[in-house]
Structure 1
């Protein structure tokens, strides 16, 4: 059975529907489902280009590398696992960066909304992500809202991921 997620930018009132790639990334999909519902402060990618994401506590099930990419395409949903030290650098601009340093493991749930993304970080080098889903409806409107996060600001905006209820 095909499973879907609802991805929402709460304050902007926009959402998209995504299909889980359970055949290509079964462990990652299981870990995402274990973490849902999930969400928090949205961030716009600094290095990857056309990316928004939120950071959540690790749900406990680590999928490892699976269906990885360093060049995500529009509509890709990616999972990244980081340690608190990975995200504790003040240059990343996270308010409460000390809180990240105290966490052993953090998950970055990312949505890529445009072309020409490259997952490289000046401190860490290549950062492959697990592609676990793809947006199947609402990408155009969602991408416009993501661009507004970039230009209008992320403060006060929440990115949420939830299971989509089916009929």
Structure 2
């Protein structure tokens, strides 16, 4: 019996205000449940944050969109440049003041929040002072435009994220 081939799927990841985007390939062979959940929910987007602990990461906090949260498939605690990662947190996990989220942050009202992240440079380590190791699901990999996106992410780090949106859409 022939093995079913999963079609290649691509998405565009954008920083809207900065007018910068990159193209990523979904890793459907390694994280099929997560990829299906994201693909079916696209387009997605929200306020962008730059990581405080993980280092070279930008992310958006979103309402859960999968019928059931994906299992920890294709996990990592050391994402590489171009990795797209999926995390799930409860609101209590993000409530510590050290995270720096404002009182009006959208996740404060949610019992569960999904974090869709893009890692744009090397030397990332997913460890948190409050919780320890925080493995993420690697569900996509940037195949074009990472250099432009990394420059925009560095600008976001230095100039600030207020008013910027991180979006994910089918390519």
Q: TM-score range by the shorter chain?
A: over 0.9
Deviation string, structure 1 residues 105-159 (Cα, Å, up to 9, x no partner): 1000000000000000111100000000000000001100001110111111110
2:121 aligned with 1:110, yes or no?
no
CA change 1:88–1:134 in 2 (3 A) is same
- Are the equivalent residues in 2 in contact too, given 1:40–1:55 (CA < 8 A)? yes
- Are the equivalent residues in 1 in contact too, given 2:48–2:164 (CA < 8 A)? yes
- Are the equivalent residues in 1 in contact too, given 2:62–2:107 (CA < 8 A)? no
- Are the equivalent residues in 2 in contact too, given 1:51–1:111 (CA < 8 A)? yes
Superposed counterparts of 1:27-46, under 5 Å: 27-46=33-52
How far 1:14 moved relative to its partner? 0.3
CA change 1:147–1:98 in 2 (3 A) is closer
How far 1:102 moved relative to its partner? 3.3
* CA distance in 1: counterparts of 2:114 and 2:40, whole angstroms: 12
Q: Calculate the TM-score normalised by the size of structure 1.
A: 0.94
* CA distance in 2: counterparts of 1:27 and 1:142, whole angstroms: 26
How far 1:97 moved relative to its partner? 5.5
Q: Calculate the TM-score normalised by the size of structure 2.
A: 0.92
2:4 — aligned with what?
A: none
Local SS of the residue matching 1:42: strand
Superposed counterparts of 1:15-164, under 5 Å: 15-60=21-66, 61-96=68-103, 99-164=106-171
- Are the equivalent residues in 1 in contact too, given 2:78–2:126 (CA < 8 A)? yes
Cα root mean square deviation, aligned: 1.2
CA change 1:97–1:126 in 2 (3 A) is farther
Choose 1 or 2 for highest CA Rg: 2
> Which segment is superposed worse, 28-37 or 76-85?
28-37
CA change 1:99–1:156 in 2 (3 A) is closer
5+ residue gaps, structure 2: 1-6
CA change 1:28–1:160 in 2 (3 A) is same
